[in-house]
Amino acid sequence: MEVANRYITIKTQVDGEPKESDFELKTSALSLSLDSGSNDMIVKNLYVSIDPYQINRMKSHSSSQKAIGFAAAITPGEAIDAYGVAKVVASANPEFEKDDLVVGLITWGDYSLLKGGNYMLRKFDPMGFPLSYQVGILGFSGLTAYGGFFKVCKPKKGEKVFVSAASGSVGNLVGQYAKLFGCYVVGCAGSKEKVALLKEKLGFDDAFNYKEESDLKSALKRYFPDGIDIYFDNVGAEMLEAAVANMNTFGRVAVCGVISEYTDAAKRAAPDMLDVVYKRITIQGFLAADHMNVFSDFISTTTDHLRTGKLYAIEDVSNGLESFPSAFIGLFRGHNTGKKIVKVADE
Ligand SMILES: NC(=O)c1ccc[n+]([C@@H]2O[C@H](COP(=O)([O-])OP(=O)(O)OC[C@H]3O[C@@H](n4cnc5c(N)ncnc54)[C@H](OP(=O)(O)O)[C@@H]3O)[C@@H](O)[C@H]2O)c1
């Protein structure tokens, strides 16, 4: 049997802000019969995670492309690989059977053909939660927030925490974990609706719309008159400079990502290094993959909090394969609230 497999690809490298015309939908025939012994597998894609780092994979050059396998350059014309949930439709791998639910590296397409058995995919138990949680709160966004906050920021109760892109997938969870842990938390986001969500639903102590502030250093001084102990950085550039200027002695900055620099090569954070020296500030970049050793703690803590209603999963789901380009482009325009996901198909 053969199916028509639609998938999204980039036409050419994308340098700068992504736009709809950078992408195209292609279709190719996919045979569902596999050679026994090949270990190949075909899965039907259900939920796919939409992530800012993919823009760095689409560029002509980015230092991230050689750093780690999953950040490798995307080849124009080929299906874009991404983290997601899928269902096995054909398997020549004895470890997987038809109808198994799997999570791992799939594609921006209807189906993913996974060759040779060396793919990054595992079976999972939904534990009574929606399947989409596997690509967000119980997936890499959650692990990024959990590992980044607890292992990189090393919080103490009562410390003052600032989170940027705080209504986004990682940011909202950092703020929620920090509140549950007993910190004072302020977030910034790009609209009044997002600010209201942080304060009224997610329990942040305060929040502000950074787009309404002409001087970020004095804005942070207003929200943190006694200084910032921890800055969880999702955006980089001038927000990082402003945060460093307001850090307390022995403050910690976890550099999770620098989204404002991804689409604008002219933007580079230049924090005052004398502040870093004299206030003995630690600025540490990290990857979620560094924290696989806390994965089981992360899952048990997060599922407990979800079951007791102490933690909210905020999702922003677009429907259908055609929505991949707009869902992705929207990340860089602040269109999403919470985890951005494309639902490709029903189970
Ligand atoms: N280190 C890791 O392992 C790891 C893993 C996952 C994600 N990350 C990084 O973490 C950050 C957040 O990722 P996410 O998946 O949670 O995405 P997200 O926050 O859900 O979505 C991106 C958000 O960033 C904000 N944004 C976009 N352009 C901006 C700009 N120029 N200046 C300030 N804010 C901007 C927008 O919100 P506003 O409306 O608030 O502007 C947008 O909604 C990214 O930098 C990402 O690369 C790192």
For a ligand 1 pocket test, name from 152, 259, 267, 329 the mutation site with the most ligand atoms within 8 angstroms of its C-beta: 259
Q: Read off the tokens for 51.
A: 């992530």
Question: For 103-134, how does the pLDDT look when each residue is reduced to its tens digit (9 = 90+)?
Answer: 999 999 999 999 987 889 999 999 999 999 99
Residue 279 contacts residue 248 (beta carbons within 8 Å): yes
CATH number for the domain spanning 19: value is 3.90.180.10
Question: For 164-173, how does the pLDDT look when each residue is reduced to its tens digit (9 = 90+)?
Answer: 999 999 999 9
Nearest to 157 by CA among 132, 178, 136: 178
pTM recorded for the entire structure: 0.98
Indicate if 186 and 115 belong to the same structural domain.
no
Please give the average per-residue pLDDT across 176-188, as a whole number: 98
**What pLDDT, on a 0 to 100 scale, did the predictor assign at position 1?**
87
Is residue 172 domain-resident?
yes
Question: For 291-306, how does the pLDDT look when each residue is reduced to its tens digit (9 = 90+)?
Answer: 999 999 999 999 999 9
**What pLDDT, on a 0 to 100 scale, did the predictor assign at position 116?**
87
Indicate if 76 and 30 belong to the same structural domain.
yes
Indicate if 130 and 150 belong to the same structural domain.
no
Q: How far is the CA of 37 from the centre of ligand 1 (A)?
A: 42
Indicate if 98 and 227 belong to the same structural domain.
no
**What pLDDT, on a 0 to 100 scale, did the predictor assign at position 119?**
87
**What pLDDT, on a 0 to 100 scale, did the predictor assign at position 243?**
98
Domain of 83, in residue numbers:
2-136+316-343
CATH number for the domain spanning 238: value is 3.40.50.720
**What pLDDT, on a 0 to 100 scale, did the predictor assign at position 63?**
94
**What pLDDT, on a 0 to 100 scale, did the predictor assign at position 253?**
98
Question: For 232-267, how does the pLDDT look when each residue is reduced to its tens digit (9 = 90+)?
Answer: 999 999 999 999 999 999 999 999 999 999 999 899
Indicate if 109 and 216 belong to the same structural domain.
no
Q: Which residues line ligand 1 (CB under 6 A)?
A: 51-53, 141, 144, 165, 167-171, 189-191, 194, 234-235, 256-260, 286-288, 331-332, 334, 336, 340
Position 311 confidence tier, pLDDT thresholds 50, 70, 90: very high
Residue 324 has pLDDT above 90, yes or no: yes
Mean pLDDT of the chain: 97
**What pLDDT, on a 0 to 100 scale, did the predictor assign at position 140?**
96
Overall number of domains in the chain: 2
**What pLDDT, on a 0 to 100 scale, did the predictor assign at position 109?**
98
**What pLDDT, on a 0 to 100 scale, did the predictor assign at position 155?**
98
Nearest CA to ligand 1 atom 44: 257
Indicate if 112 and 171 belong to the same structural domain.
no
Is residue 254 domain-resident?
yes
Residue 225 has pLDDT above 90, yes or no: yes
For a ligand 1 pocket test, name from 162, 173, 331, 340 the mutation site with the most ligand atoms within 8 angstroms of its C-beta: 331
**What pLDDT, on a 0 to 100 scale, did the predictor assign at position 347?**
84
Is residue 300 domain-resident?
no
Q: How far is it, in rounded angstroms, from Cα 143 to Cα 137?
A: 8
Nearest CA to ligand 1 atom 28: 332
Q: How far is it, in rounded angstroms, from Cα 282 to Cα 268?
A: 18
Q: How far is the CA of 277 from the centre of ligand 1 (A)?
A: 28
